[in-house]
């Protein structure tokens, strides 16, 4: 998890702009190397099956390799260091041998070359992409086995399980390993900013896994998207494991640039240097009054700094998400009703609305009604956003929070199946904090 963003998150003053670190990525020189693919042919279509149980021993074997790489390269796998390039080479070789098409993306940060690795599994509808990612770099002060060898190894073994199963997904599967996250999501920002708008819109979900084996673990689920949040909560509920919304790492890892680009994000997290409460220890076990990971960003973040049970559960949840999302039927193109007229949002004032009129739709609205919202505002934590149905029923899309980012650019999902589709729908927005103004840029409903 990013040290730069961690320091920013620890400050309680409300920031009024997006992190300046994102601008560094835009200025980075980018070179795309030619994709390399294994000679192994794409798998023949196979019957879809339930997600496999990912052997935790396999995941730990990858962690042992990352530990060996760090040990042989000055004790770390940080951006610009030989240990990071060796880590990328290790992951890429595994994926090439498994039949993935891999692309090595380069960028420059702090006068050093950085690398992202993108791996695409053959097949699936490329207009509907499900993507999982994790940062592969460590801090300079340690080998980074939990942060974030754990997430990197978890998605690697899931990708290899896709190959072993010969999975023929309905949607296109893509995996990413990011460089220079510890400097502020540099690699992932480079990737997202380099995508054409049409390619961004094809990514239906980005799932982020940053620290999933903490030694005093919690079970935290990203709550940025209702569908993805519910997916993971359902999985852990089946194990009898309670979850909590992920807040410690909000905006501090590689889901942030995807979320800022309007892509639905989800993910898992087992905790960093926040302290486990007595209630959490009762819920999950472990030790209260101690950090979830006392070796966070330290030299002791080694192979010994992993909780096998958490790593096993979290990696199985990764596979569950990939199999569930990757094999579901892609929705047909919808009918879009949009309002692109700007509506000013007064500072700490009354709520304002923007309307769209839906017509020509038979019956009720869907159980998963996409509500795309673009709001320009320097501090989105101040905003309360509601969808108002034609009969006046109100659906809360977003409450006010301590989220320090700017703008809202996302798609919410609402169960509006009790509402008649046709009629005037409204987006209602209120700024409940002082010192800034913004505007509704556009919003849309897709039936």
Tens place of pLDDT per residue across the chain (447 aa) = 665 444 444 433 333 333 333 333 333 333 333 333 333 333 333 334 689 999 999 999 999 999 999 999 999 999 999 999 999 999 999 999 999 999 999 999 999 999 999 999 999 999 999 999 999 999 999 999 999 999 999 999 999 999 999 999 999 999 999 999 999 999 999 999 999 988 988 999 999 999 999 999 999 999 998 899 999 999 999 999 999 999 887 778 999 999 988 889 999 999 999 999 999 999 999 999 999 999 999 999 999 999 999 999 999 999 999 999 999 987 677 789 999 999 999 999 999 999 999 988 877 888 889 999 999 999 999 999 999 999 999 999 999 987 777 899 989 999 998 998 899 999 999 999 998 899 999 999 998
Beta-strand ranges (E) seen in 242-285 are 244-245, 265-269
What are the catalytic residues?
181
The rounded Cα 154 to chain-centroid distance in angstroms is 14
pLDDT confidence of residue 28: 37
Q: Which residues pair with 424 in a beta bridge?
A: 357
CB-based contacts of 285, cutoff 8 Å, min separation 6: none
pLDDT confidence of residue 49: 63
pLDDT confidence of residue 405: 78
Q: DSSP letters along 161-183, please? A: HHHHHT---SEEEEEEEES-GGG
Q: Are 413 and 23 in contact (CB under 8 A)?
A: no
- Say if strands 125-135 and 203-209 run parallel, antiparallel, or are unpaired: parallel
Q: Are 219 and 243 in contact (CB under 8 A)?
A: yes
Backbone angles phi and psi of 126, in degrees to 5: -70, -5
Rounded Cα–Cα distance for residues 239 and 242 (Å): 9
pLDDT confidence of residue 250: 75
* Structure letter (DSSP) for residue 381: G
pLDDT confidence of residue 47: 35
Q: Are 155 and 136 in contact (CB under 8 A)?
A: no
Q: How many CB atoms lie within 10 A of CB 359?
A: 10
Q: How many CB atoms lie within 10 A of CB 411?
A: 18
Give the pTM: 0.71
Judged by DSSP in three states, 113 sits in: strand
Q: How far is CA 15 from CA 6, 224, 250, 339, 405, in A?
A: 14, 20, 14, 29, 7
pLDDT confidence of residue 13: 39
pLDDT confidence of residue 197: 83
């Amino acid at each position: 998890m990013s040290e730069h963003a961690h320091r920013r998150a620890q400050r309680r003053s409300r920031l009024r702009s997006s992190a300046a670190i994102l601008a560094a990525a835009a200025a980075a020189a980018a070179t795309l190397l030619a994709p390399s693919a294994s000679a192994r042919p794409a798998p023949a279509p196979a019957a879809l099956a339930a997600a496999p149980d990912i052997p935790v021993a396999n995941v730990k074997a990858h962690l042992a390799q990352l530990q060996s790489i760090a040990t042989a390269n000055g004790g770390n796998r940080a951006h610009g260091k030989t240990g990071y390039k060796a880590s990328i080479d290790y992951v890429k070789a595994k994926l090439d041998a498994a039949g993935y098409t891999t692309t090595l993306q380069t960028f420059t940060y702090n006068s050093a070359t950085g690398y992202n690795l993108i791996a695409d599994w053959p097949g699936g509808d490329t207009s509907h992409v499900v993507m999982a990612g994790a940062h592969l770099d460590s801090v300079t002060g340690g080998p980074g086995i939990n942060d974030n060898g754990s997430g990197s190894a978890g998605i690697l073994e899931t990708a290899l399980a896709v190959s072993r199963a010969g999975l023929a997904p309905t949607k296109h599967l893509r995996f990413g390993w990011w460089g220079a996250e510890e400097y502020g999501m540099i690699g992932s920002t480079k990737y997202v900013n380099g995508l054409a708008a049409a390619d961004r819109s094809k990514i239906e979900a980005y799932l982020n896994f940053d620290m999933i084996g903490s030694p005093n673990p919690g079970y935290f689920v990203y709550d940025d998207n209702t569908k993805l949040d519910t997916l993971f909560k359902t999985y852990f509920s089946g194990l009898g494991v309670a979850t909590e919304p992920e807040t410690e790492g909000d905006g501090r890892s590689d889901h942030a640039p995807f979320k800022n680009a309007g892509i639905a994000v989800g993910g898992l997290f087992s905790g960093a240097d926040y302290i486990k409460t007595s209630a959490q220890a009762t819920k999950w076990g472990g030790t209260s009054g101690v950090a979830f990971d006392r070796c966070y960003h330290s030299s002791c973040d080694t192979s010994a700094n992993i909780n096998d049970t958490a790593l096993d559960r979290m990696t199985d949840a990764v596979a569950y998400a990939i199999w569930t999302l990757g094999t579901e039927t892609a929705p047909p193109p919808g009918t879009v009703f949009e309002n692109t007229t700007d509506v000013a949002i007064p500072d700490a004032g009354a709520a304002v609305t923007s309307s769209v009129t839906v017509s020509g739709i038979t019956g009720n609205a869907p159980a998963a009604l996409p509500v795309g919202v673009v709001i320009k505002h320097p501090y989105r934590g101040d905003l309360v956003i509601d969808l108002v149905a034609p009969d006046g029923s109100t659906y809360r899309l977003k409450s006010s929070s301590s989220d320090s980012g700017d703008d809202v650019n996302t798609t919410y999902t609402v169960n509006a199946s009790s509402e008649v589709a046709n009629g005037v729908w409204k987006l209602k927005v209120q700024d409940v904090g002082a010192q800034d103004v913004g505007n509704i840029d556009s919003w849309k409903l897709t039936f």
